[in-house]
Chains A and B, each alone.
Chain A
Amino acid sequence: MDEEVTLRPCDLADVDDLYEYASDDKVSAWCRWDTYTNKEDLLNYMKTCMIPHPWMRVICYRGRPVGSISVTPYTGADRCRAELGYVLASQYWGKGIATKAVKLTLETVFKDLKDLERVEALVDVENFGSQKVLEKSGFTKDGVLRRFSIHKGMVRDRILYSFISTDPLV
């Protein structure tokens, strides 16, 4: 299964494949964005955000885009750290694909992004699936940040996870 998960840069031609999960309520529930209802909006997001992004990859399973993963650096004195985010089509959940994508990301992102020393991820306290992905990928739980962020109008507790450039790849 491992060899079947690959990462590559996003291409506008991926819009149809990405739309399959971007239009899925089950997927958008845990994401900051709302479910997409038309491909034009998604194409616009791909053009303005995904393609120019400092580190964004499409997750492919057996060559077909099934999700995306990104590492977004902060600026200035905070450029030593970056936030990990990923999304996966729901029919591919529970197969270890997200875990493999995160591991592949950690293998190269510290070389790809200058000044990066810390990759962090904020996960909802009730998003047990994502917590497992990060734990299996070698992230450390830094702590629970209480009432940290607003998600779809609700203030949520978040778990902060980190992976430092010197941490062992698992």
Chain B
Amino acid sequence: MNHDEKNQNPKTPTITLRKFTLSDVDAFMSWAADPRVTRFQRRDPYSDPADALAYITTHILPHPWYRAICIDNTPVGSISVKPAPGEDRHRASIGYRLAYDYWGKGIATEALKLTIKAAFEELDHLERLEAIADVDNPASQRVLEKAGFKEEGILRKYVRLKGETRDMVMFSFLLSDAV
């Protein structure tokens, strides 16, 4: 989609981040059931709220850092920070998703900025945040750049996504990058 068309004169609404609760399942479905949102995700869109509830219970609630992106306390997306496996606890990767109707308003960028600040404050020893975006997802690449991430390179044939092996762009934000 062309974000520039939707972004002509938006005023980014006030965004807050908070933990999920099970009662957020309907809000969660507003992006998790949408194939436009899940296009660059490994998972297919949810069709059954029971599956979404199971995901919230088994994956989101116990997750080390998973937040709902809220407008007026209503979730319109989510953002998560996942520490690297093994001994590299100084490094974590960010993933985010936003309901389609809220694209193009600067919300993801704002959520990222809030997350960067919170993650470096809350996660011990954290020095590097990283994120990858599909080469065919320029909207997400722009969001990361606007949030202050630096592009490090293109990783060829990096992950399998819905039956295809994709090239991904790697971005990072270091503790020392923070202004």
Contacts and interface: CB of A to CB of B under 8 A. Distances in A.
Interface of A: 77-81, 115, 117-118, 120, 140-150, 155, 160, 162, 164-165
A144 to B, nearest CB: 6
Contacts of A80: 157-160, 165
B174 A146 contact: yes
Please classify the interface of chain B as helix (H, G, I), strand (E, B), loop, or mixed, using the class held by over half of its residues.
strand
Given A147-B127, A155-B127, 18 more contacts: A80-B157, A80-B158, A117-B157, A118-B165, A120-B155, A142-B153, A142-B155, A143-B155, A143-B170, A145-B130, A145-B170, A146-B152, A147-B90, A147-B91, A147-B172, A155-B90, A160-B155, A162-B157
Interface string B67-86: 00000000000000000000
Most buried by A among B42, B127, B153: B153
A147 B156 contact: no
Contacts, number: 74
Contacts of A120: 155
A145 B128 CA distance: 10
Interface string B141-152: 000000000101
B88 A164 contact: no
Interface in B14-38: none
